[in-house]
Amino acid sequence: MASTFFLIALGFVIGLGGWALFLWAVRSGQFDDAEAPKYRMLDDDDEVQNKPKKKGMAEK
Amino acid sequence: MNLRSNQTIRCDHCMQEVPASAAVTAVIDGETRNFCCHGCLGAYELIHGESLDAFYQQRCDWQPGRPAFAAVDAREFADDVVSDGSQSRIELLLSGIRCASCVWLVEKVLGRLDGIVSARVNFATHRATVEWRSDAVTLDKILKTLSGIGYLPRPVRQGSQVEAFSAEKRDLLLRFGTAGFFSMQLMLIIAALYAGFFQGIETTYRLAFQLISWALATPVVFYSGWPFISNALRSMRNRALTMDVLVALGSLAAYFYSVAMIFTGGEVFFDTSAMIVTFILLGRFLEAGSRLKAGSALAALADLQPREALLVDAEGQTSLTPLERIGEGAVVEVLPGDRMPLDGVVTGGEADVDESMLTGESAPVTKIDGSKVYAGTCAITGRLRVKVSGDARQTLLASIIRTVEEAQARKAPIQGVADRVAGWFVPAIILLAAATFAWWRLSGAPPVTALMNAVSVLVIACPCALGLATPLAILVGTTAVSRKGILVKGGDIFESISKTTTVVLDKTGTITRGAPTLTDTFDYGASGNFMQRCASLESLSRHPAGRAIAEGWHGETVPVEEFRSIPGMGVSGVIAGEAWISGSRALLEKEEIEIDAECLATAAKLEASGKTTVFVACDRKLAGLFGLIDELRDDAGRMIGALRAQGLRLMILTGDNVGVARYIAGKCGITEVRSGLDPIGKADAIRELKRNGETVLMAGDGINDAPALTEADTGVTFGTATGIAIESAGVTIMNDDLELLGTLLAHSRKCFAVIRQNLAWAFGYNLIAVPLAVGGVLHPIVSALLMATSSLVVVSNSLRLRKI
């Protein structure tokens, strides 16, 4: 009996955590731009310094 | 190309002047070339290596240096800055964001500036949010940096439609997310209660679970369901019962009934009350999302319009002038990389113009003297002088925007049916529920049973199919075709497309290329300069045949006075004191000009081989005859095949002569052809078809068949027709692809088939289920399950339309 209610309460609390996360996400604009992130992941970070030159590249 | 003067050299690639000592020289194909930097040398080698040296000849009047941009005034942005003393934040609109690389570039360049805390660009809305330390960098510097790399910042105009839509979408997302979360928790508990109902359950457990489910259902009904409740209250005050009333009533009835049951020890139906709200919210959320998309597309279109232009004054000096001060007849200059500020005609210069935003055609179009250019299109190379043909409200872009705006406010008639039905369906159900309660009470059932049956009636009457499925289906359907570049003005138009029985095609420019070429010229010697006179007269005509004749003359043209264009017939004017008329045989007959037998025989021969004839008269005497051919488009055959496969009656209307019409008809296999029609005649032909009970769809290019497009049940124009054509046609197909016409017809029919299925399902379901509920056969639990299933059926049926 008690364990049942404990588990229900536990499930509910975990769920509440998810709900709070969702509320925060909507309020802070996480859902506002669904386009850019998929491109942003393809961006390089700042260009790597002093890349070794490929062989056969013409020196100018 | 290297001009040595005062020890400076012009770079052979970018034409900038560089000190001779600093120049980079390279010997390419035995010639010494000078460059200002290795970058230009690399570019030159690349172009040269691909044998594209013609580029250097084509950039006729290209000026070195950066494209000129309007100066940005930081004061315009002052109101938008949010500052807390040490840090400031601004949201601004960037024009020129085209792809993800633009986003990357702006973010990176701003990020490198000293004092910038963060810079984010929203790819969907083209907005940049920049935060900076007020002591380290000024707003002015940020704006200059942005315009320096080619993205012109503009203040965000508040209170736009898009703002309202995205606020609405966010609100619905919050409500739907909350409803989803609580409904999930609720369904777990309710599942236990269901199991208890069928297999037995201890009363303490049952009471506990009922209390928990009460707590869980409350936020769903009163927070997530608040829009329905408030709309229901409003519509009751206005004495108009909408779907919202039924939703709110069903949900609230189930809720309060369940609350009463907790205290009397019956079964609870909190799941019903919560699920009604959750499902319908999902529909509303999807709808808001696509409305926002449509709104953003509109805003993106509106952003294409520059708000100032380089006005050329009488001395040939240019000055940056706001568009409001530029009217018809003014001349503006457009620099490479700029967008056309207004519609107009090119009067000087030559440039490749990207018209993809209007036509979907990605290849640039070369514009020369006399070409029409449209506001919002982008000059890629070369500078143009454009004579403006109207103010900002009269541009093609403006009429497209108006059309799209109107489209969002129009309803399909079938939706009117659903709304009308809802009008009596809702009160009928409420009365029925009351009658059910009364009848059960009178026949001696306990109040609990009577109330339960009444609630069953309220719950099982599924309004979703009526209230949601029809708009959703139309929305999904029109969105699907708009992805293909088909602009449908509204749901009502979509419905009349689906009923089409006859498709009428305008010949010139729709199933033929619309650009005839001059093949035969007969000069009967009425005037010495026959060809020059004809070309001068026809060069003012907007008809493709006129253009073809004008192109057949490479000499000087002479001025034409009293020029008149007789739509669908020809042109007339006075040249050097002679009255010239050029046009169809009908025009000459109308003017009572005699055409001799020899000429008629020649014309008949030309026409028999599918050529269009243009007769010319000078001072009321026959002066000559032209033969032109306009070939069938490659995709016309495929389109006609597709339409015929759909069982549609096809007809061709043309202003041309019988021979041409027969020739073209024979080539594409359409038997019904009406020829020799002027614009009014075309409209008459369509009216006659409608009198015989046909539903007519007319496809034309809109230049001379606006009356017919308006007369038809649905008018379709192709490509960038004129603004008038877009306003008179219900559908504009932006990509110049004939086969899309078949796609549109097939898809609209599929859409309305789906709507009819939905309505049939909704009515059938209610007809069977409601009497069962009245009879007390169905437990409210079963009613709720049936209701949810019914909603899912119609919604998923509507979503089938996403795929074309």
**Closest to B100 (Cβ–Cβ): which among A15, A34, A39?**
A39
More confident residue, B417 or B259: B259
Note the pLDDT of residue B3.
Answer: 46
Residues of A in contact with B208 (CB under 8 A): 5
A57 touches chain B (CB under 8 A): no
Determine the residue among B104, B118, B290 to mutate to test chain A binding: the one whose Cβ has the most chain A Cβ atoms within 10 Å: B104
Subunit contact B185:A15, Cβ cutoff 8 A: yes
For chain A, how many helices (H) and strands (E)? 2, 0
Half-sphere exposure of B672 (CA within 13 A, CB side): 14
In 3-state terms chain B splits into helix, strand, coil percentages (rounded to 5) of 50, 20, 30
Residue A59: predicted pLDDT: 40
Cα separations in angstroms, B326 against B186, B335, B717: 64, 17, 30
pLDDT at B84: 80
CB proximity A6 to B under 8 Å = no
B725's CB contacts (< 8 A; 6+ apart) are B700, B701, B702, B703, B706, B709, B717, B732
The residue-averaged pLDDT of B98-108 equals 77
Of B104, B188, B208, the CB nearest to A43: B104
- Percent of residues, chain B, with pLDDT higher than 90: 9
Active site residue B705: no
The CA distance from B593 to B596, in Å, is 10
Q: Does residue B23 or residue B625 have the better pLDDT? A: B625
Instruction: Output the pLDDT for position B695.
Output: 92
Q: Looking up tokens 């002052």, which residue turns up? A: B78
Give the model's pLDDT for residue A43: 64
Asked whether the predicted pLDDT for residue B700 surpasses 70, the reply is: yes
pLDDT exceeds cutoff 80 at B71:
no
- According to DSSP H, which parts of B265-395 are helical? 270-303, 356-359
Taking the C-alpha atoms of residue B796 and residue B150, their distance in angstroms, rounded to an integer, is 45
Higher pLDDT, B79 or B689: B689
- Strand B696-700, strand B502-506: pairing: parallel
pLDDT at position B408 is 60
Of the candidates B42, B104, B124, which has its C-beta nearest A33's C-beta? B124
- Statement: residue A47 has pLDDT above 60: no
Cβ contacts (< 8 Å) between B104 and chain A: which residues? Answer: 39-40, 43
* Confidence class for position A52, pLDDT limits 50, 70, 90: very low
> Cα-flanking dihedrals φ and ψ of residue B569, to 5°?
-125, -45
Q: The tokens 């020739």 sit on which residue?
A: B663
What pLDDT does B55 receive?
72
What is the predicted pLDDT for the residue at B749?
92
Window 199-238 of B, Cβ < 8 Å to A: 204-205, 208, 212
Interface test with B, best of A14, A30, A31, A57 (most B CBs within 10 A): A31
Task: Provide mean pLDDT across the span B450-468.
Answer: 73
State the nearest Cα–Cα gap between B184 and chain A, in angstroms: 9
Cα dihedral B225, B770, B476, B498 in deg (nearest 10): -150
Q: Of B140, B159, B141, which is closest to residue B75 (Cα–Cα)?
A: B140
Cα separation, A37 vs A47, in Å, equals: 20
B174, A23: Cβ pair inside 8 Å?
yes
The one-letter amino acid code at B659 reads G
Shortest CB distance from B123 goes to which of A1, A19, A39? Answer: A39
Look at residue B257 in the predicted model and tell me its pLDDT: 82
- Checking if the pLDDT of B295 tops 70, the result is no
Q: Which residue of B has its CA nearest to A23?
A: B174
Q: Give the pLDDT confidence score for residue A49 in this predicted structure.
A: 45
**pLDDT > 70: percent of chain B:** 87
Task: Choose from A3, A10, A26 for mutation: most chain B CBs within 10 A.
Answer: A26
Angle at B350 between CA B346 and CA B352, to 5 degrees: 100
At B666-678, the pLDDT tens digits run: 888 888 888 888 7
A14-28, B474-488, B589-603, B684-698: least confident range: B474-488
- The alpha-carbon gap from B459 to the nearest alpha carbon of chain A, in Å, equals 28
B174 to chain A: which residues are within 8 Å by CB?
23, 26
> Which chain B positions have a beta carbon within 8 Å of A32's beta carbon?
122, 124, 166, 170
* Residue tagged active-site, from B506, B656, B713, B736: B506
Rg over alpha carbons for chain B, rounded to the nearest Å, is 34
Average pLDDT over all residues of chain B = 81
Mean pLDDT of B564-587: 84
- The pLDDT value recorded for residue B219 is 94
Q: What is the mean pLDDT of residues B446-461?
A: 78
How many CB atoms lie under 10 A from the CB of residue B65?
9
Distance CA B690, CA B649 (A): 13
pLDDT average, residue stretch B387-399: 81
Q: Do B177 and A31 touch (CB under 8 A)?
A: no
Residue B501 binned pLDDT confidence (cut-offs 50, 70, 90):
very high
CA angle, residues B419, B423, B429, in degrees to nearest 5: 125
CA separation for the pair B23, B18 (Å, rounded): 6
B143-187 confidence digits (pLDDT tens): 888 887 778 787 776 446 677 777 888 889 999 999 999 999 998
Residue of A nearest to B25 (CA): A60
Nearest chain A residue to B215, by CA: A12
Nearest residue on chain B to A8, judged by CA atoms?
B189
Euclidean distance between CA atoms B47 and B26, whole angstroms: 15
Find the range with the poorest average confidence among A29-38, B19-28, B192-201, B607-616: A29-38
**Counts for chain B of helices (H) and strands (E), in that order:** 27, 31
Q: Give chain B's largest Cα–Cα span.
A: 114
Neighbour tally for B706: CB within 10 Å: 23
H helix intervals, B719-738: 723-728
pLDDT at A54: 44
DSSP-assigned letters across all residues of B747-800: HHHHHHHHHHHHHHHHHHHHHHHHHHHHTT-S-HHHHHHHHHHHHHHHHHHHHG
